[in-house]
A and B are shown apart, each in its own frame.
Chain A
Amino acid sequence: KNQVEQSPQSLIILEGKNCTLQCNYTVSPFSNLRWYKQDTGRGPVSLTIMTFSENTKSNGRYTATLDADTKQSSLHITASQLSDSASYICVVSAPLRDKVIFGPGTSLSVIP
């Protein structure tokens, strides 16, 4: 069964610190992997996308990595800000047209 798991379920960090969120998936075949950020009360917004051949992709203070062999991805947030407080969702796509599997998300709280 195609699955996407994320860890930790929730995380609290101090403002200015770095953190790393994990995503493991069993989706096969694999097309691409996206990380979405979902602010409270809002819909998810895409942060990064990586295809099978990409290892790293950055978007400002967000850096995503992908190891397609071990089926693992991580999202690293550098110098966290209060506005980074949100849920981060890992989404894996299968080649079948727009078939996507969502992870349960990691809830990040950045405190002063």
Chain B
Amino acid sequence: DVKVTQSSRYLVKRTGEKVFLECVQDMDHENMFWYRQDPGLGLRLIYFSYDVKMKEKGDIPEGYSVSREKKERFSLILESASTNQTSMYLCASSHGRRLEPSEQYFGPGTRLTVT
């Protein structure tokens, strides 16, 4: 079974702090994604990566950056956390290099609260 793990289930940070969210997948997937999920808005794509050291902006990249130094690991960075970044953060991975968009496998999520 595909397993996607996230470093923390719950996180509380103060405004202005630098926050690192880590995601690891064990299925050798090429693609990795970071989403945030807010009530009534659904999942919104922050950043994604198709390969090591490669990243592309999603729909809401402002205030975030990412790092993919190894194929299995994709990190989301909040350079200076703000209260409007309080949210559930979900990481996902999928097979790449296919014609059809493939199923994304999600981690359990990190609920981040910025006070």
B23-41 with Cβ < 8 A to chain A:
31, 35, 40-41
In the assembled complex, the Cα of A99 lies from the Cα of B104 at a distance in Å of: 11
B42, B48, B108: the one contacting A98 at CB < 8 Å is B48
In the assembled complex, the Cα of A94 lies from the Cα of B96 at a distance in Å of: 15
A41 at the interface (CB under 8 A from B): yes
Q: A93-B101, A94-B101, A105-B42 are in contact. Are A45 and B106 (CB under 8 A)?
A: yes
Neighbouring B residues of A104 by C-beta, 8 Å: 40-42
With both beta carbons as reference points, the residue of chain B lying nearest to A9 in the complex is identified as B40
Q: Mark A4-18, 1 if CB is under 8 A from B, else 0.
A: 100001000000000
Structural contact, B109 and A41, CB atoms closer than 8 A: yes
* Chain A residues near B (Cβ < 8 Å): 4, 9, 31-32, 34, 41-46, 49, 51, 89, 93-95, 97-100, 102-105
* 27 pairs, CB–CB < 8 Å, chain A vs chain B: A4-B42, A9-B40, A31-B100, A32-B101, A41-B9, A41-B108, A41-B109, A42-B108, A43-B106, A43-B107, A44-B90, A46-B103, A46-B104, A49-B103, A93-B100, A95-B100, A97-B96, A97-B101, A98-B48, A98-B50, A98-B96, A98-B101, A98-B102, A99-B101, A102-B35, A104-B40, A104-B42
